[in-house]
Amino acid sequence: MNTPNATKSQLIVIGNGMVGHHLVEQLVEQGATEHYEITVFGEERHLAYDRVHLSEYFSGRDADSLALSTAEYYAEHGIALRLSEAVTAIDRDKSEVTTPQGRYAYDRLVLATGSYPFVPPIPGNDREGCLVYRTLEDLDAIRAMAETANTGVVVGGGLLGLEAANALRGLNLDTAVVEFAPRLMPMQVDSEGGELLREKIESLGVQVLTGRATQEIVDGEASRHRMVFQDDKVLETDLIVFSAGIRPRDDLARDCGLEIGERGGVVIDDRCLTNDPAILAVGEVALWNNSIFGLVAPGYQMAKAAAATLLATASGSQDGSFKGADMSTKLKLMGVDVGSIGDAHGDRTPGARMFRFLDPIKQQYRKLVVSSDGKRLVGAMLVGDNSYYDTLLQYYANRMDLPEDPAALILPSSEGAPTLGPDALPETAMICSCHNVTKGDICATLDAGAVDLGAVKGETKASTGCGGCAALLKSVVDHELEARGVEVDKSICEHFAHTRQELYDIVRVEGIKTFSELMEKHGSAESHRLGCDICKPAVASILASCFNEPITDAAHIPLQDTNDTFMANMQKNGTYSVVPRVPGGEITPDKLVVLGQVAQKYALYTKVTGGQRIDLFGARLEDLPAIWGELIEAGFETGHAYGKSLRTVKSCVGSTWCRYGVQDSVGMAIQLEHRYKGLRAPHKIKFGVSGCTRECAEAQSKDIGVIATENGWNLYVCGNGGMRPRHAELFATDLADEQLYRIIDRFLMFYIRTADRLQRTSVWRENLDGGLDYLKEVILEDSLGIGEELDRQMQTVIDAYECEWANAISDPEKLKRFRSFVNDARPDPDIIYTTERGQLRPA
């Protein structure tokens, strides 16, 4: 019998998953170690790790990078962490738990045992190669089995099933998903959303079989297994992963006589207490109000309530309760957005009214479920675009009155997805669901003396969970501070008491050309004079935008991040990409041959990108100068794929070849790419030039879009693709070539002068007072009288252009940086490759 310190109450936590660890953090933060000697048992050998991002284990992350804490954290706070030690029994009469290593006494006990994957009772489900997807050990087993497999099947088409399918796909297996329900993710999406989700998943190369019940698994003829379905159809595969839902791990609770729900789960009350007042339960093992919560945020809220219960008992000073949790979810599965809010199916709301929007071209589906009187949002569903999620969630969570036309909330608009300003949110608005922080909590923290975002985070823990609320939190804090008459500090960082725009003006007006001079004259910190990861790259961008000196010069190189330092994008295995410029997507056969020869010589992976370039991946650091030497000799230039600068100008073939083309779009694209190559900006910039209104170059999804007309060119601005797509807006029509250049010159320079750091043109446009009309006044009408100044500034950048790689390989001092180890010329031995589809890729 283990007999720990008897001066404190003995608290045992069974389970070291995400919720169990969060409980420990809550106990530490609230001073529980003064009252309890805490022992934590973890069945796995790993410290608590992030199961939400478990699939990233297959894309390079290891157990340490997924870990939520360290052994030192537990030791520092006097908590005994016993990993690889499973509790096998609870003796409530003796207040003891038993493990293979011994018996341990407790005064209070918390069950945080989580759940286990449900494996359907199918004959043959225990064959070799039939696995589950739940823990790091499970993933190790899947990876090992995949080494001798060509095909894999996931049984289960829900959230975890699609995560597992993505993992198999990442292991280069031909992958299929088998789902018993008639659609994927049946709990989150309806038939229309499910069909769209199927299309998007199948477009990624994953076979989807819905409405299939597996009757048995037997020996296959061409593969290891044969799955026999209810209609006698079969599917052969080498590997099967069961991911058909979860069940609470309540066996310890059952065996010791705790109250268990009819369908499993340890019954708890609002304080997370079981029917034994000495025992609590949290997370997926707990059944509250006949509900099991399979998401991490409700588990965290239970942990907070359980900590309050334990401390109320120990000190009489605290209390708390769990009142249930919203199960709305915003997911990205295999790169596909899926969102579900409230009663997304409308089957729990009498008289519910539905609004639906389906765009089969963009593959987006949105659905509103509204109360019978049309005043309240009771549910919503999104597939293909989650940019509408945050606003809809606020309407739902805070029971806010809907606009007169609710459909406007999901219909496409030139302004993008609708947004709610901080002033429109009520005090009850949930800002951070991970830590259950409302707008009212934030206001109370500010009223209690918090004066900045960091203080609010420290007090409330908002945005310290998944981080998805960071932007909303900042806007609420800034708005509430200003409403209280507090001047909001918009300094770029602690080293400069200026915004990016103010720093740009200082550099331009005073002609400052180095970071050290700027720091000496305008730095606000007396220490750390070298700056930080915020101000250094921001100032580097400003200096390059103003003067376009080589970023590899000795005065500028300390400011650059890894990608700019080595003028190549670092890849996940430590190698780099080589991306030569291909203006307008036009390339000669001779240059194509050179690219092939270089890729062959240096064993590089080659990819034709959506930006009409050929990217070469897998270059070792020490090989970069030699590779670029050969490319520059063949007439290539750097493509600036590593920089916040002009990336590409995409074009169609235009009037040169196309029978619909009305202007030479390729020629214009080449002119524009050469004009603005090397232009550094707050964020990357992409152009598109289409030779007619058929828009084959997708110009209206770019920062700068140019579309040919019979009379010249139409100019569109401030669009972008990516995570939050936005259509560009028509800015000027029927422009001659020189008019087009001048307007783009002024537009880009005004953007560079006034945008915040790392701000795309689309976001900049949305934040401009006066919007597009204001931009037209400044650029087209020269309302500020700065047009000629903007012209001169752009011409300075154009005249100063120099290929950064050509500059670097001509300077022996600059070439010294291109080695993996400072004190050793050997290549990095940790870079390992494997072969896929005839090319190398990271192992």
- Judge whether 491 lies within some domain: no
**Tokens at residue 191, please?**
């038939």
Q: What is the CATH number of the domain that holds 473?
A: 1.10.10.1100
pLDDT, residue 6, reads: 57
Q: What is the CATH number of the domain that holds 195?
A: 3.50.50.60
- Which residues, listed in sequence order, are joined to residue 49 by a DSSP beta bridge? 67
Mean pLDDT of all residues belonging to the chain: 89
Query: How many structural domains does the chain have?
Result: 7
Q: What is the CATH number of the domain that holds 623?
A: 3.30.70
Poorest-confidence range of 433-442, 467-476, 752-761, 815-824? 815-824
Q: Are residues 254 and 201 both part of a single domain?
A: no
Q: Are residues 339 and 411 both part of a single domain?
A: yes
Q: Quickly state the pLDDT bin for 25 (edges 50, 70, 90).
A: very high
Which residues are annotated binding-site positions for [4Fe-4S] cluster?
Answer: 652, 658, 692, 696
pLDDT, residue 527, reads: 47
Q: Which domain holds residue 513?
A: 500-555
Residues 6+ apart with CB under 8 A from 483: none
Average of per-residue pLDDT across 148-156: 95
- How far apart are alpha carbons 295 and 300 in whole angstroms? 9
Q: Is the pLDDT of residue 534 over 90?
A: no
pLDDT, residue 453, reads: 80
- Judge whether 569 lies within some domain: yes
Q: Are residues 740 and 704 both part of a single domain?
A: yes
pLDDT, residue 4, reads: 54
Helix segments in 422-575, DSSP class H: 439-447, 453-460, 470-483, 500-510, 515-522, 535-547, 562-565
Q: Quickly state the pLDDT bin for 489 (edges 50, 70, 90).
A: confident
- Judge whether 597 lies within some domain: yes
Q: Are residues 686 and 715 both part of a single domain?
A: yes
Q: Are residues 627 and 678 both part of a single domain?
A: no
For the chain, the straight-line distance linking the first and the last C-alpha, in angstroms and rounded, comes to 48
CB-CB contact of 182 with 348 (8 Å): no
Average of per-residue pLDDT across 180-196: 92
pLDDT digit string (tens) for 329-383? Answer: 887 777 788 999 999 999 889 999 999 999 888 889 999 999 999 999 999 999 9
**Strand boundaries in 145-250, DSSP class E:** 151-155, 174-179, 207-210, 214-219, 225-229, 234-237, 239-242, 246-248
Q: Is the pLDDT of residue 110 over 50?
A: yes
- Judge whether 741 lies within some domain: yes
Q: Are residues 284 and 425 both part of a single domain?
A: no
Q: Is the pLDDT of residue 233 over 90?
A: yes
Sign of CA dihedral 450, 455, 458, 462: positive
Average of per-residue pLDDT across 396-411: 89
- Residues in the chain, how many? 843
Q: Are residues 309 and 439 both part of a single domain?
A: no
- Judge whether 493 lies within some domain: no
Poorest-confidence range of 129-138, 557-566, 732-741? 557-566
Q: Is the pLDDT of residue 843 over 80?
A: no
Residue 368 DSSP class = E
761: closest CA among 773, 747, 781?
747
Q: Are residues 218 and 128 both part of a single domain?
A: yes
Q: Are residues 591 and 622 both part of a single domain?
A: yes
CB-CB contact of 101 with 273 (8 Å): no
pLDDT, residue 3, reads: 52
Which is higher by pLDDT, 149 or 609? 149
Which residues are annotated binding-site positions?
Answer: 652, 658, 692, 696
- Judge whether 154 lies within some domain: yes
Residue 8 DSSP class = S
CB-CB contact of 716 with 760 (8 Å): no
Q: Is the pLDDT of residue 315 over 90?
A: no
**Tokens at residue 197, please?**
């989700």
Which CA distances in Å does 639 have to 325, 564, 621? Answer: 49, 12, 17
Q: What is the CATH number of the domain that holds 363?
A: 3.30.390.30
- Judge whether 462 lies within some domain: yes
Q: Is the pLDDT of residue 318 over 60?
A: no
Of 281, 315, 349, the position where a domain reaches its end is: 315
Q: Are residues 396 and 450 both part of a single domain?
A: no
Q: How many helices (H) and strands (E) are present in the chain, helices listed first?
A: 26, 37
- Judge whether 480 lies within some domain: yes
pLDDT, residue 828, reads: 65
- How far apart are alpha carbons 600 and 110 in whole angstroms? 59
Of 420, 442, 477, the position where a domain reaches its end is: 420
Instruction: Enter the pTM of the model.
Output: 0.60
Which residues are annotated binding-site positions for siroheme?
Answer: 696
Q: Quickly state the pLDDT bin for 317 (edges 50, 70, 90).
A: very low
Q: What is the CATH number of the domain that holds 681?
A: 3.30.413.10
Q: Quickly state the pLDDT bin for 414 (edges 50, 70, 90).
A: low
Poorest-confidence range of 139-153, 563-577, 677-691, 732-746? 563-577
pLDDT, residue 629, reads: 95
pLDDT, residue 327, reads: 83
Q: Is the pLDDT of residue 742 over 90?
A: yes
- How far apart are alpha carbons 442 and 431 in whole angstroms? 9
Q: Are residues 385 and 395 both part of a single domain?
A: yes
Of 420, 449, 470, the position where a domain reaches its end is: 420
Average of per-residue pLDDT across 577-592: 93
Q: Quickly state the pLDDT bin for 820 (edges 50, 70, 90).
A: low
Q: Which amino acid is at 129?
A: G
Q: Are residues 306 and 332 both part of a single domain?
A: no
